[in-house]
Amino acid sequence: MDLNFSADEIAFRDEVRAFVATHLPADIRDRVQRGDERHVADDLRRWQRILFEHGWGAAMWPAEFGGTGWDKTRQYLFDIECFAADAPIQLPFGLKMVAPVIMRYGSDAQKARFLPRILDGTDWWCQGYSEPGSGSDLASLKTRAERDGDHYVVNGQKAWNTLGQHADWIFCLVRTDAAAKPQRGISFLLIDMKTPGIRVQPTRLLDGRHEVNEIFFDDVRVPVENLVGEENAGWTYAKFLLGHERTNIAGIGASRRELARLKRMAGHARRHGAPLLDDSIFATRIAQVELELKALEVTNLRVIFAEARQQAPGPEASMLKIRGTEILQRISELQIEALGPRALQFDGDGEDVPRAVGQYMNLRKLSIYGGSNEIQRNIIAQMVLQL
């Protein structure tokens, strides 16, 4: 298998690199570099609008819905270049999660109503999957929706909702048949966050940030026209969505960016009067994680090129998820070690201290969401080892 990029792909990479260098606003780049998320909603909407106006609003969408129609290789190169330039991530909940579900299973009216507003950044979406007691065992969810004329009445609670405080809409899994087997009584609803009866309660994280929420639904009336697909068939749509969530979860672009930051931090830090980067033991640990990242990148490219030949990824997606999250967590640990005692000052001097400390604590979640690493190991055991 030839894993080298073609001349056209290299030209495309250079085009993306030049575009991001000239169009990414300096204030947004500066906040991403410092890990300053106080203006995250405005920054993400502005960047999405800039990409949309250039025709790059949805790298992963087919052209018929306004996307770029790029193949997997170009999508990969686009992500790598955006991360390298410290561009903000594009919000995945609309673009990469609910939009593919609407494209595949939604009605024509839903496609016409929701997709254009996701593409141009008008609507911010969030996810309503996890509940207290229903995370990895998602089929045990208890939020219920009961039919009342031309509406569903929703009652229940969602947990670990990311950035829902900014959201215009939420896609939710709800139980519509309590008597059916767990996976067969679930439906997929699109709910306007301004609907009376919805309450968003912040969940403060270890780093003190307001990134996740609990969301409560008390007699929330949702038009039946906001049901995606068939009633009680939501489990099928949920699995389809989770497959898209795990796409690109290897996080190659993020790890490459953070590895470069780690080397810079180790170059500035001093140990025994010399740069920490010159310490043979610490340098060896950086080299080890860099080699692991290179190996993961090659594996990721093999999966991408296999998909280009219409070969669907199998257990490789689970391998990418496990190794990708472990490597990014390991890099964040080395950043903390490079800071030394300064890491104890959460609001310490320089951009590296608050960013690295906050990220170290925040990245612990990587091995849990998108299907925990334990679940991914079970998938590998079943599909590869036949256990």
| Every domain range in the chain assigned CATH 1.20.140.10 | 249-385
C-alpha–C-alpha distance, residues 94 and 98, integer Å: 5
- Tell me how far apart the alpha carbons of residues 331 and 36 are, in angstroms, rounded to a whole number: 20
Active site residue 245: yes
**N-term to C-term CA, the chain:** 30
| Chain centroid, CA 210 distance in Å | 17
Report pLDDT digits (tens) over 36-82: 878 889 999 999 999 999 999 999 999 999 999 999 889 999 999 99
pLDDT tens-digit readout, 290-336: 999 999 988 888 877 776 666 656 777 888 889 999 999 999 999 99
Query: Catalytic residue among 245, 258, 297, 316, which?
Result: 245
Domain 249-385 belongs in CATH node 1.10.20.10: no
pLDDT of 149-161, one tens digit each?
Answer: 999 999 999 999 9
- We find that the CATH architecture of domain 125-232 is Beta Barrel (2.40)
Positions of the chain with pLDDT lower than 50, given as ranges: none
pTM: 0.86
- At 349 the pLDDT is 55
Q: How far is CA 346 from the centre of its chain?
A: 25
CATH 2.40.110.10 domain range(s) in the chain? 125-232
